[in-house]
Structure formats: structure tokens, C-alpha cells
């Protein structure tokens, strides 16, 4: 499927990955409609950071994914849907599990219902590596058992299963992208890499939670390319694709690497309030992207050192946008 000249809806368009996806869609000649959560300020999130000529080419619609009528209206005359909209912060899900569940699960149901009734040509649903929980084996392929170790991961497991059920029950042309830990410019301090960089730029010590868990980090442009490959590949329908680097690194080693790249000695303070509950902590994530390589001909291009240098440069130029004094969830 060619995305050029297609009417494309992106839910969660104002978020970190969503804003990068929107930017690339416009570059590729798609007609992009952005679904944004309503606020009285008509807040467009990170879309405001896109070039003016890009912003002029997108259509913004405001609402709430939990409202079926709003979702249906936003999806009229749409050919392709990239469904990224969700509440993603794991610490936030501990505090507000009902809101997270309703947004991520009911919101996904509303998107799938509208796509079915409007006969959308393709839906790309966004999962997360968090659905796997702590690795039972590595590398982790798409057959790895799902483990709901946080309210957030449980909500995403539910959303994934709704998407799968609509493919099985209604032959809805849906495919699932399962990104591992995405990082890059524009990411907020709710994620560990911007937290480390922004604190290292402004403080003598870095406050973090657990340092031993490992993660598989993928630069945002590689992740976005994975979304495009899924959208363009007819064979992707009905399948789930891990989008990750096949390289794991512990949080502690990541901090040391960032410190070296920044030319700074960093002292880490482990704060209890930043730690996940013991049984909820995902101890290890390491991607197996074999299916994406074989079916989509996708693999990451940006090595972690290069991606971190780009991210350090961007955050350094936008440090005023980061709150480095408080714990951001």
C-alpha cells in the first residue's frame, strides 16, 4: 500500500512517537488528520514543534478516544489509521488505573468499531514491549507469553487482544506494531534517557529508580520506519511485529554511557519513590526482531551511541522545557 495521497488518521498525534510519525507522513505526501485529546487551550502537544510548512498541511481534530461518536466522526473518509493514542506512563497507571484502562482499552475498541463500520483500508495498532513483562527467555519473539505486571501493561494486552479479535471476527485489516523502548528528540522526562540527560545537564547528581533492569532501546526514526513498513506491507495484516534493536543494556550501564558521551562524571542516587513495586518491575527486555526483518525487510539503522548523541544535542538545545527538580511521572 502506498501512503502517498492517502487520507491518514493518527491518534496520539501530539505525543513523542506520534509527532515524528506525522512529520514523516507529511513528507511522504499523505493527507494527515491528527486526533488530539481535547483541552480548553486546543493543545496540539509536540506538533507545535514541527516546521511551520508541515503544520500547515495537517488537520487537527480534538476529542477523547473514550467517546465513540467523536472517534467515528474523526475516522470518516479515512483510508489508513495509525492508532498510537494511549496513556503510557507506568507510574501514572499505578495512581490512575481506571483512567488508563478506559483510555487504552475502550479507546481501542472505539477505533476498531469505527474502522469496521467505515471499512477503513488498514489499521496499524500500537502495542508495547511492556506486554511481555520480565523476559522468560531471550531474545523475546512475538510468541513470548504476555504478562500484565502493571495496570498499563494489562491495559495494552487487552487492547492488543481487541485488535486481534477484530481481525479474526470481522476480517478487519489490522496489524500490530510492538515497539521496544523508543528514545530520541522531543521525548519527555517520564522516560529514563531524557531523565538522565536533562539531570546531567543541570545537576551534580542524577536521581533514578532501579539500575539493574535491562531494556532494548530503539531510536525514534527507526521505530517510525517500522510503522511505515507495516502499513505498506500487505502481508503484515493479522500479524504482530516486534520493533526493537536486539541489544539490551542495563539502566546503570546506560547512565555510564550517557555520562561518557557528555564528557561528564555522574553520581547516581537511587530513590525509592522512583522504583516500581517489586513484582511489577520488568527486570529484562531484549527484542527478537527476526519477523520484522524477514517480512518487512526492516532493521534499525541508528546505533545507540549515535542516537544518544542526537538526543543529547536536542535536549541540550531545549533544556528549558525540562523540569529537572521534580519526579515526573
Q: Are residues 271 and 309 in the same domain?
A: yes
Q: Is residue 296 part of a domain?
A: no
Q: Is residue 15 part of a domain?
A: yes
Q: Are residues 72 and 210 in the same domain?
A: no
Q: Are residues 227 and 254 in the same domain?
A: no
Cα first-last separation, the chain? 38
Low-confidence residues in the chain, pLDDT < 70: none
Q: Are residues 18 and 160 in the same domain?
A: yes
pLDDT, tens digit, for every residue of 217-270? 999 999 999 999 999 999 999 999 999 999 999 999 999 999 999 998 888 998
Instruction: Give residue 265's pLDDT.
Output: 84
Q: Are residues 24 and 78 in the same domain?
A: yes
CA of residue 16 relative to chain centroid, distance: 7
Orientation angle between helical segments 192-202 and 251-262, nearest 10 degrees:
40
Question: Choosing from 38, 94, 132, 152, which is the catalytic residue?
Answer: 152
Q: Are residues 266 and 191 in the same domain?
A: yes
Whether residue 38 lies in the annotated active site: no
Instruction: Give residue 206's pLDDT.
Output: 93
Query: Which is it for strands 214-215 and 58-63: parallel, antiparallel or unpaired?
Result: unpaired
Q: Is residue 116 part of a domain?
A: yes
CA of residue 244 relative to chain centroid, distance: 12
Q: Is residue 327 part of a domain?
A: no
Q: Are residues 270 and 121 in the same domain?
A: no
Q: Is residue 294 part of a domain?
A: no
Q: Helix, strand, or coil here: 303?
A: coil
Cβ density class 272-302: b for 16+ within 10 Å, e for less: eebebeeebbbebbbbbbebbeeebebebeb
The domain that holds 99 is classified in CATH as: 3.40.50.720
Q: Are residues 12 and 94 in the same domain?
A: yes
Q: Is residue 134 part of a domain?
A: yes
- Report the 10 Å Cβ neighbour count for 119: 9
Dist. CA 223–CA 182, nearest whole Å: 7
Q: Is residue 293 part of a domain?
A: no
CB 249 within 8 A of CB 215: yes
Q: Are residues 12 and 118 in the same domain?
A: yes
Q: Are residues 15 and 114 in the same domain?
A: yes
Residue among 34, 263, 7, 242 nearest 138 (CA): 242
Q: Are residues 178 and 253 in the same domain?
A: no
Domain around 270: 184-215+247-285+303-321
- Report the 10 Å Cβ neighbour count for 39: 10
Domain total in the chain: 2
Q: Are residues 126 and 209 in the same domain?
A: no
The domain that holds 203 is classified in CATH as: 3.90.25.10
Amino acid at each position: 500500500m502506498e501512503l502517498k495521497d492517502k487520507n491518514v488518521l493518527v491518534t496520539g498525534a501530539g505525543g513523542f512517537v506520534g509527532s515524528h510519525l506525522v512529520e514523516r507522513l507529511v513528507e511522504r505526501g499523505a493527507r494527515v488528520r491528527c486526533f488530539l485529546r481535547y483541552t480548553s487551550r486546543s493543545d496540539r502537544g509536540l506538533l507545535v514543534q514541527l516546521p511551520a510548512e508541515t503544520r500547515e498541511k495537517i488537520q487537527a481534530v480534538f476529542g477523547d478516544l473514550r467517546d465513540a461518536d467523536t472517534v467515528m466522526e474523526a475516522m470518516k473518509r479515512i483510508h489508513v489509521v495509525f492508532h498510537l493514542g494511549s496513556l503510557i506512563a507506568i507510574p501514572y497507571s499505578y495512581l490512575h488505573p481506571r483512567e488508563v484502562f478506559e483510555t487504552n482499552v475502550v479507546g481501542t475498541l472505539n477505533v476498531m468499531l469505527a474502522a469496521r463500520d467505515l471499512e477503513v483500508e488498514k489499521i496499524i495498532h500500537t502495542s508495547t514491549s511492556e506486554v511481555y513483562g520480565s523476559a522468560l527467555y531471550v531474545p523475546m519473539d512475538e510468541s513470548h507469553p504476555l504478562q500484565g505486571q502493571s495496570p498499563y501493561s494489562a491495559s495494552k494486552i487487552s487492547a492488543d487482544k481487541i485488535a486481534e479479535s477484530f481481525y479474526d471476527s470481522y476480517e478487519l485489516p489490522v496489524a500490530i506494531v510492538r515497539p521496544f523502548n523508543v528514545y530520541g528528540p522531543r521525548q519527555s522526562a517520564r522516560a529514563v534517557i531524557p531523565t538522565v540527560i536533562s539531570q546531567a545537564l543541570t545537576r551534580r547528581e542524577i536521581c533514578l529508580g532501579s539500575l539493574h533492569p535491562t531494556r532494548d532501546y530503539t531510536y525514534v526514526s527507526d521505530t517510525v520506519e517500522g510503522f511505515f513498513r507495516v502499513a505498506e506491507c500487505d502481508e503484515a495484516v493479522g500479524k504482530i511485529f516486534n520493533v526493537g534493536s536486539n541489544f539490551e543494556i542495563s539502566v546503570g550501564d546506560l547512565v555510564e554511557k550517557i555520562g561518557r558521551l557528555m564528557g561528564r562524571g555522574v553520581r547516581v542516587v537511587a530513590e525509592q519513590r522512583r522504583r516500581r513495586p517489586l513484582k511489577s518491575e520488568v527486570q529484562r527486555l531484549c527484542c527478537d526482531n527476526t519477523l520484522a526483518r524477514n517480512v518487512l525487510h526492516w532493521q534499525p539503522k541508528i546505533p545507540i551511541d549515535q542516537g544518544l548523541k542526537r538526543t543529547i544535542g536536542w535536549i541540550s538545545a531545549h533544556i528549558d522545557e525540562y523540569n529537572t527538580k521534580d519526579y515526573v511521572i
